[in-house]
Structure 1
Amino acid sequence: MGNLRLTDIVIIIAYLFIMVAVGFYFSKKNKTASQFTKASGKIPGWALGLSIYATFLSSNTFLGVPGKAFASNWNAFMFSLSMPFAAWVASKYFVRYYRNNGAISAYTNLEQRFGLWARTYAVACFLLTQLARMGSVFFGIAISLQALTHFPMPTIMIVTGICIIIYTVLGGIEAVIWTEVVQGIIKTVGAVIILYLIISNLPHGLKDVVRVGTADNKFSLGSFHVNFTESSFWVVLLYGFFINLNNFGMDQNYVQRYHAAPSDKSAAKSIWLCVYIYVPASLLFFFIGTSLYAYYQVHPQMLNEVTNSVALERITSGSAHGAVNQVAQSLTPADYGDKIMPHFMVREIPTGVLGLIISAILSAAMSTISSSMNSTATIFVEDIYKRYYNNKITDAKSMRLLYIATVAFGLLGMTTGLAMIGVKSILDIWWELSGIFAGGMLGLFLLGMISKASKNTEAITATIIGICVIIWMTFPSLIPDKFEFLRSPFHKNMIIVVGTLSIFLSGVLITQFRQKSLKKQTA
């Protein structure tokens, strides 16, 4: 198996076996749909907090963040620094709102507020977002394991996908949450070990990281100029705030955990625990990326191995032509940033420890994918099957549907991952797709929650306006070259910001216009 020793292989197989065994253990408790989807509301707040943290800390973070920091700087860290602001809003307003509502689905209240179309729109946005999330995570795990095993990416995705499907189907949300608690600890320890090994392999240790990083401006948080056309400090901060507000307020992965807590206070604490752990943990991964940059500056011959490997892949796939050296010289750090950490693992991590690190990367993927599979299955049963086909079904049938939907969405996630093979940056593609697929549904949710006077007509008009704005920002090529001045000037990370505000603000303005018109008519 490529560079893996027998000891590493045994550790990885043991880890996968334990995860599947956890699913079998919790399968005995899943007698009802309520137990499968919200663990009967008996999970302690600290476990939920670690579970939410583990969901955030996917392979997109484990591989994508170091790759991003290696290729550029710490600009993307503003995403993490925006989390406390979104957490404050979520813990103060969203938790109580959902728990008082009582429905396990995050989107039931939208139908009660604006009608079936609103619920359907939000469900469609959520499912697309989850497929993008699962696909990017599958792709991330395939990148790292391919470098170590030399197995094809599709094979890696299928094997890991089968293991994830088994323990998620059997164990339900309780298995997902408790395995995520363990996985969150494993991958954090794994990251610390990787950082230690990088620094210990530098001639002057931490001093080399600081020296090289400072000289090449690798610690920069981006431009502080108010500029929304590039990935500035403000663009990433706004993107982070809106996407995290969307996560905490509209994402079934998180809303489902609010219901699994025994009280509002425990659910709110779980959000803050996630933030307290995730912000410094993400900083750790940015520092790993900068440390890797310093490592490869000190050992440039090893960087040649990475660029030659990527060049050979492109020539083999037909996406590049010419000699390996020529193609390698034309590559930029953005082309091979995600390959850096797997390459370092191959070269520098000792036997035994490598197996533990791979288990950490696997746990980063498994926690996010299993969470997405469980939540999408829940949404399918609650918002699609029960709403459109049969609302009065037995618990036994609900369980069968949950099992089938979990498997189906797991397979769809794998398919999405296969479609992403060849993408340059895991983090970039995930951020872009999540911003687009969120579809401004946060704006619709805020409109219903804040603007009590807004009715169905205002909401649907505002949503149409928001969708048009999102399409305008996502597909600038739809506008002919002669009208190029009409194309969106905004950076792609502004899509969720502008889309959300378009729906919310246009809905409020249309509502005010209607109210003024009614006053004039009655005057």
Structure 2
Amino acid sequence: MQTLDLIVFLIYMGGITLFGASFYSKDKSASTFTLGNSNFPTWVVTMSIFATFVSSISFLGLPGNAYQSNWNAFVFSLSIPVASLMAVQFFVPLYRKLNSPSAYVFLETKFGLWARVYVSACYLLTQLMRIGTILYLLALPVNALFGWDILTIIAITGFVVMGYSLLGGIQAVMWTDAIQGIVLIGGALVCLLYIVFSMPEGPGQIMTIALENDKFSLGSFGSSLTESTFWVVLIYGVFINLQNYGIDQNYVQRYMASRSDAEAKRSALWGGMLYVPVSMLFFLIGTALFSYYTAMPEALPAELRDIAKSDRVFPFFIVDVLPPGLTGLLIASIFAAGMSTISTSINSSSTVILVDYFQRFSKTELSEKTAMRVLYLTTFIISMLGIGIAFAMINVKSALDAWWKLASVFSGGMLGLFLLGAFVDKINRKGAIVGGVLGVLLILWMSLSPIFWTDGEMQEYASPFHAYLAIVFGTMVLFLTGFLISVIAPRKHLPEDTAAGS
């Protein structure tokens, strides 16, 4: 079985790597590396945005989360239409008009250089954590199937993605995204169908067991702010997805890579909307797995019956139950999900470092040769740092929960600054700084105090709120503080307000 699966897996890995590397050319410029001359078909941009949403965090984390608990985390997906419509109405036109490869030039025009540096740094930290989390999750099924060392798998995967990202730039990233998006949807559908028709008493047994255990629950509809209720996850999802669409370089770079404003809007809308049914597919897989192993508990090893190891149940099923060849296809699908997101993060991060740091602070205009050296070097460094973070993720209890909490910490008020700049005409920059400081302090307190102040005298000062609300409260404090100070003491327009560098 392992031989056939290994062949399927290696064919996929080799094929996608060679395809991505085929975009390399000696006359490549920084513009083609970061935007591909803005000449991508709409469907490619759409699938690339979708593939950016979906990663191994989704492919393994969502089924693991559904297996462990219920469909509470699916509420996050229900918030995506709100962000998609906001993108079409406000965000895409804003960035297309600005016409810069970086999402953070806009913030400098509104608040000054400090905002551009601060938010771009937060973005880079977020992407490093994302790359590390995904690399770790990708290693799980390969470790289960072939018994290879997890550290070795992480390193090889990281180098493979770095290779075609470095050689092909955003053209390699977006075209492989499109292919990988199709592969991962097909693989997930095949897996769900196999589970459904493998139940001892037929497909209906999945629903019977799931309903008996309340596995389709979307969470409590109560007003508690200390638990992961329906409303807490929904509000968290709205804020995170507004941040994705509004200030995340991964998405903004795709708006700019589209051929026209109309095509960028269509891609932004449907790229996000496609994630809703696909995420439902992942939750169905997790619920179906719960029913499968409830009906046949002897099929699950004792060490995986610990609910804390739910992330490992789906990889085990892929290896233990699926027939030869199909196992290799599913692992290829998982890698399709993860590799597309990793390559996006690598390319976008190197773009940010070039545009927001090297070009912004250089006293002379960078030559194309120097710009390409910066892009190549930063692609390598970001990849290596991501691999190191993946090593550190090995002992994390739940990759999905860890990612969501880290995303809140590193968001650091990014969304609040963006909304303040986008929807408030006359801004007092000192007010924005005050709001930023208060927002970040609140986020750090809400995210970290429950972890470090677990006992002793400091315990009573720990945040009582759910960690998902950190970005919500932090964003609101930053926005409202900046808005109120701007209303009370509006800053007069100065020439430098519109003289920010690109």
Same fold (TM over 0.5): yes
What is the CA-CA distance between 1:296 and the residue it aligns to?
0.4
Q: Are residues 1:336 and 2:309 paired? A: yes
Q: Distance in 1 between matches of 2:236 and 2:273?
A: 20
Q: How does 1:86-101 map to 2 (within 5 A)?
A: 86-101=83-98
Partner secondary structure for residue 157 of structure 2: helix
| Matching residue within 456, 464, 479 for 1:504 | 479
Instruction: For 1:107 and 1:391, locate their aligned partners in 2 and report how far apart those are by CA, in whole Å.
Output: 21
Which residue in 2 is equivalent to 1:135?
132
CA distance in 2, matches of 1:92, 1:337: 39
Q: What is the TM-score with the length of structure 1 in the denominator?
A: 0.91
Residue 170 and residue 515 in structure 1: after superposition, are their counterparts in 2 closer, same or farther (change >3 A)? closer
Shift of 1:502: 1.1
Partner residue in 2 for 1:206: 203
Structure 1: which 5+ residue stretches go unaligned?
A: 311-327, 517-523
Is the Cα contact below 8 Å between 1:65 and 1:427 reproduced in 2? yes
- CA deviations 1:424-481 (Å, max 9, x no partner) are 1111111111111111111011111111111211111110111111121122256684
Write out per-residue CA displacement over residues 216-251 of structure 1, whole angstroms, 9 at most, x where no aligned residue: 000000001122110000011011111111011111
Give the match for residue 314 of structure 1. Answer: none
Q: Equivalents in 1 of 2:122, 2:363: separation in Å? A: 23
Give 1:495's aligned residue. 470
Q: Which amino acid aligns with 2:425?
A: K
* Aligned-partner Cα distance in 2 for 1:443–1:435: 13
Of 173, 183, 188, 1:186 maps to 183
Q: Is the 8 A contact 1:50 1:180 kept in 2?
A: yes
Aligned length: 489
Distance (whole Å) between structure 1 residues aligned to residue 361 and residue 490 of structure 2:
34
Match of 1:440 among 401, 404, 413: 413
Q: Which amino acid aligns with 2:479?
A: F
Q: CA deviation at 1:486?
A: 3.6
Stretch of structure 1 that moved more, 24-33 or 97-106: 24-33
Give, in whole Å, the separation in 2 of the partners of 1:354 and 1:427: 23
Aligned counterparts of 1:30 and 1:425: Cα–Cα separation in 2:
45
Contact 1:198 1:291 in 2 (8 A): yes
1:69-114 Cα offsets, whole Å, 9 max, x none, are: 0000000001101000011111110001011011111001111211
Specify every segment of 5 or more residues in structure 2 that has no aligned partner in the other structure, as ranges. 492-502
Secondary structure, in 3 states, of the residue corresponding to 1:475?
helix
Alignment of structure 1 residues 126-165 onto 2, 5 Å: 126-165=123-162
Does residue 347 of the first structure (1) align with residue 323 of the second (2)?
no
**What's the counterpart of residue 459 of structure 1?**
432
Contact 1:222–1:232 (Cα < 8 Å) also in 2: yes
Which residue does 2:40 correspond to in 1? 43
The answer for the alignment partner of 1:315 in structure 2 is: none
Structure-2 separation of matches of 1:207 and 1:18 = 39
- Which residue identity is paired with 1:417? A
TM-score by length of 2: 0.95
Identity level (%):
43
Residue from 241, 250, 263 that aligns with 1:244: 241
Instruction: Identify which of 359, 375, 382 aligns with 1:409.
Output: 382
1:256-290 per-residue CA deviation (whole Å, 9 max, x = no partner) reads 00000011111110111113321000001000000
The separation in 1 between residues aligned to 2:414 and 2:354, in whole angstroms, is 20
Q: Distance in 2 between matches of 1:140 and 1:293?
A: 20
CA contact (8 A) 2:428 2:482 kept: no
Opposite residue 434 of structure 2, the aligned amino acid is T
Task: Measure, in 2, the Cα distance between the counterparts of 1:484 and 1:353.
Answer: 50
Partner of 1:231: 228
Equivalent pair of 1:385/1:391 in contact (CA under 8 Å): no
Secondary structure of 1:27's partner? coil
Letter in 2 for 1:386: Q
Q: C-alpha displacement at 1:5, in angstroms?
A: 2.1
9 and 443 in structure 1: CA distance in 2 versus 1, 3 angstrom threshold: same
Aligned to 1:62: 59
**CA distance, structure 2, for counterparts of residue 30 and residue 129 of structure 1:** 32
Q: Deviations over 1:302-334 (max 9, x none)?
A: 22x1x42x5xxxxxxxxxxxxxxxxx7xx3x1x
Does the 8 Å contact 1:57/1:364 carry over to 2? yes
Report the 3-state secondary structure (helix = DSSP H, G, I; strand = E; otherwise coil) of the residue aligned with 1:393. Answer: coil
Q: Does 1:381 align with 2:381?
A: no
Distance 1:417 1:30 in 2: 34
The answer to whether the 8 Å contact 1:105/1:379 transfers is: yes
Letter in 2 for 1:447: L
- Which residue in the other structure is 1:324 paired with? none
**Residue 492 of structure 1: SS of its match in structure 2?**
coil
Paired with 1:340 and 1:406, the residues of 2 have a C-alpha distance of 33
Which of 374, 395, 405 is the matching residue for 1:422? 395
- After TM superposition, the structure 1 stretch with the greater mean CA deviation from structure 2, 253-262 or 105-114, is 105-114
8 Å Cα contact 2:49/2:272 also seen in 1 = no
1:14 matched to which residue of 2? 11
